[in-house]
Structure 1
């Protein structure tokens, strides 16, 4: 069986750096508006070939982009829900979900479904947390299709209480007002640069920890293969390391958003925010904020968000 493009081995524990960059560039092109066929044509024109030596087509690229392993994910066999594996990835889970939901997508298990307009959640991936249980909130549509942030419990019983949900556009507009206020303060640029430097150092420490955990995972194989470690002990140790890897990789993705954001002077902040790239707005939010904490609504049906949200600021400037 041929290896999956971007990975060195069948266990998907080692990536090929050059192939990962090719996949990331292809995904970036698709997100920028190119078709899947155009992205595949670019890969072929640049001399990139599949693992069996064939040229890339819309179909072969589509099969690769439909595989959750490229985002460090897998599907639960019973529920079909995506869950993190703790393995190294070619793209982020958010990018993978966007690829599955993008307008005009062909092929894959969801191609025959009518999809809602895609919504990019600005404050997901660990920034927004549930005040009741401390679990990070994720983007999730309501039964009526409204984008929201929700505290979710998952199929293995991990996760949060599953009780709190808040309208995504209202929360994002509310937090954006405060972010713009902080950006308008004197000295904001210097404070952001200091925050970015600190987070870049933390990100590098995370890379080292991930490499060490991957080494431990690899070292487990030898004693298990030689019969020195029982299957139960091997599975338990591998699961524990996998959980640590999931935590470290999620934190690293979170930090990288802030490290990569461009910083520069902007005169009309409100107008700039309205049209700024999604990645820039999210990166600035991560630089400025440690946490967006969401409390339960006062009563069922209450839509106001002001008294439900507490912002914990990262920078020394923020109050």
Structure 2
């Protein structure tokens, strides 16, 4: 039986080259506005050199079956974390989002527009009116990609009033970020921020590597603890490990940006991978606030954004 793609063996051990294309495929398959077919994503994987563990080409159903395997997220068949499994290709939340997305689009027409990788979602941009994070969205199937403040719900008191075309918003933010790099002293500050991120990433890597020992130590005192206390300690240890891995992925995006020469970064931006562009924004910015279009701001996208810049401690 072939091993599970992404892992060296059944008990874990990440194969990073495989994990990389599987994570990117999962990201594409999780986009529901507009969705992308499984076969289209599999073809993209094949064109970019991704192969099955046996060296074959991917099919859409095989790729989705692999990503749906609970072990992709370090879970057993009942959905419980496998003790000592190690680093996973996907987090449980990422796999859950993927499965929910594919369920949501099942049965829709097979002809789909090309997916759009939004640059400023996942907490980077928010609504200046209500402070809720913006989501990537299209007004209708044929519309251009855009950002919007989602309508309010019982659990989300967002305002639902802010919208902005993705091309206008992302271009304006990129121009502001690249211009900021050229300000006197700013480049050196960004380099310090990147070094801090590198040091934190190294500490987190060591912390993650020590997880097996922490689980073993906890298991060693299990008989000396009340059952509820042991469960609480075990959950806290697992939550800590999951948070560390998520934080490490965030830091790795920042560390990967080539900041040696700010003028080189300006030239690099246009051909940089989307994740690397996001990394540059993350090292420069803490939040992009998107304002309403009133007061004549709609004609100049720069007047519709307010940026909180990241500063070195």
Q: 2: distance between equivalents of 1:253 and 1:246?
A: 11
Unaligned runs of 5+ in 2: 29-41, 76-85
Query: Is contact 1:8-1:16 (8 Å) kept?
Result: yes
Give the TM-score normalised by structure 2: 0.61
Q: Closer, same or farther in 2 for the Cα pair 1:16/1:150, shift >3 Å?
A: farther
- 1:252 corresponds to: 248
- 2:181 corresponds to: 183
Q: Closer, same or farther in 2 for the Cα pair 1:177/1:24, shift >3 Å?
A: closer
- 1:120 corresponds to: 117
Q: 1: distance between equivalents of 2:66 and 2:168?
A: 32
Q: 1: distance between equivalents of 2:217 and 2:155?
A: 27
Query: Is contact 2:258-2:265 (8 Å) kept?
Result: no
- 1:67 corresponds to: 68
Q: 1: distance between equivalents of 2:120 and 2:89?
A: 22
State yes or no: 1:195 paired with 2:196.
Answer: no
| Correspondence for 1:16 among 13, 19, 41 | 13
Q: 2: distance between equivalents of 1:172 and 1:137?
A: 13
Q: Closer, same or farther in 2 for the Cα pair 1:241/1:123, shift >3 Å?
A: farther
SS of 2:289 mapped into structure 1: strand
- 1:90 corresponds to: 89
The range that moved more, 192-201 or 157-166, is 157-166
Give the TM-score normalised by structure 1: 0.60
- 2:6 corresponds to: 6
Q: 1: distance between equivalents of 2:257 and 2:309?
A: 18
Unaligned runs of 5+ in 1: 44-48, 75-86, 102-107
Q: 2: distance between equivalents of 1:303 and 1:218?
A: 60
Equivalent residue pairs, number: 278
Query: Is contact 1:195-1:287 (8 Å) kept?
Result: yes
SS of 1:312 mapped into structure 2: strand
Query: Is contact 1:127-1:290 (8 Å) kept?
Result: yes
SS of 2:270 mapped into structure 1: helix
Q: Closer, same or farther in 2 for the Cα pair 1:116/1:242, shift >3 Å?
A: farther
The offset of 1:127, in angstroms, is 1.9
- 1:289 corresponds to: 285
Query: Is contact 1:36-1:62 (8 Å) kept?
Result: no
Q: 2: distance between equivalents of 1:185 and 1:73?
A: 45
SS of 2:136 mapped into structure 1: strand
Q: Closer, same or farther in 2 for the Cα pair 1:202/1:158, shift >3 Å?
A: farther
